[in-house]
Amino acid sequence: MRLCPRAAVPAPEILCSRCSGVCNNKVKELSVRIPRPAGQGPSRFIPEEEILQVGMEDENMVLADAFADMGRLDNVALVMVFHPQYLESFLKTQHYLLQMDGPLPACYQHYIGIMAAARHQCSYLVNLHVNDFIQSGGDQKWRAEQVAGTQTLADNKRTHIEKLLKTGEHSWSLAELIHAVVLLAHYHSLASFTFGCGISPEIHGDSGHNFHPPSVSNYCICDITNGNHGGNEGRLTAGSLSSDSSCEVEVLMEKMKQLQECRDEEEASQEEMATRFEREKIESMLAFATEDEDPPPAREVSKHFEDTSYGYKDFSRRRMHVPTFRVQDFSWEDHGYSLVNRLYPDVGQLLDEKFHIAYNLTYNTMAMHNDVDTSTLRRAIWNYVHCMFGIRYDDYDYGEINQLLDRSFKVYIKNVVCSPEKTTKRMYDSYWRQFKHSEKVHVNLLLMEARMQAELLYALRAITWYMT
């Protein structure tokens, strides 16, 4: 028996005494390339054992229901299971958008998902939907550049609403447009969650394995089969926390308490509130990590869009004014919800439920502390995301943001929300160093839903203007 036709070494001489498998040193001699898992569990940022422990809890049935419904459990779901109430709402919404009969054909739904994910170079989501696109009857020629079907959908993303809805061969209905807008916002924001939590490629997917050398020098094939294929390098442990983070939680809790007390005592004028919003909006545009450059798009992603420069533009670097979007003039609760529900029945209700669960989700804990009111902090995170997009709440004091969110946290938020493909483990580890991974996953849920709502507000307001 030989592993390689060029090898002259009999099989017994290359077997490992530990497991009867092929040892790395012998594999090197034979020039055999063995694929290895590209990730260590569902997330590159969160230890696999923590995720598995949550997923195996007896009271958690949401994963079983998801598997029964979809026939698979992707890594996004395995990370979201830290918060089963949210995961249930997320899966229900995604199922309705992609599995139930809607205004758009199934193949269009998946292709829009592919394009939205490619917008952020999210190969994880692109690979998930490529197969679904084909299985739902999509034309494989659409995946090639310069094909009419591809160009039609690409045009539908970026041209004016009036051009989309006018009569003609490729005209869309208002219901189809709403469906497409919701799908785009869903997958743009899901890309933020994917990168923000360091979601690993599916092990059965195109990027699930690679041929990179192992991190451990004395490597054996039995380590793969036993799940010991990576070690713990780069992971943040309790012993590795720097001393300046020891009172980080206590300081944050004290600031939250002071803000709640001051809010009852005095209230700033509307002029001062507006000034604080403008100041925070300008500062938010400077929150990018300066050393990070735009990563080149992966080959399997770049073929799904033509303009590789399309993406978030930092207004501060171009001396552009960001107009203010006043929620009092157009809000999700008073305007967006009813428009979506009227043109795409039940979706407005599903989205509304998901927004509220993410925003109100709390276990009244912060790191090692219990019985904590986290509403002030959650509102600051949500409103900071909207502030970056020029969305203002007249009744919110934006001075609270600077007191509750430090620079490392703002850098993380800005990258996850605006340029998620630039998010690194260093950014993830650099903020809230004493907090649990489940709490950081909750942060990413807030960022994802706040971003999705912001995108929907702009799109739905434009559609409303067109209709009136």
Active site residues: 122
Pairing of strands 209-210, 36-37: antiparallel
Q: Which two tokens stand for residue 418?
A: 């605006």
Dihedral-angle region of residue 390 (phi above 0 means left; psi in -120 to 50 means alpha; beta otherwise): left
- Could you give the CA distance from residue 329 to residue 113 in angstroms, rounded to a whole number? 30
CA distances (Å), origin 69, targets 63, 99, 105, 227, 289: 10, 10, 20, 27, 40
Q: By the 8 A CB rule, do 190 and 448 touch?
A: yes
Residue labelled with tokens 């428009």? 339
Q: Which residues contact 153 (CB under 8 A, 6 or more apart)?
A: 108, 111, 112, 115, 142
Angle between helices 375-388 and 347-360 (to 10 degrees): 120
Q: Is 392 helix (H, G, I), strand (E, B) or coil?
A: strand
Total number of residues shown for the chain: 468
- Could you give the CA distance from residue 360 to residue 365 in angstroms, rounded to a whole number? 13
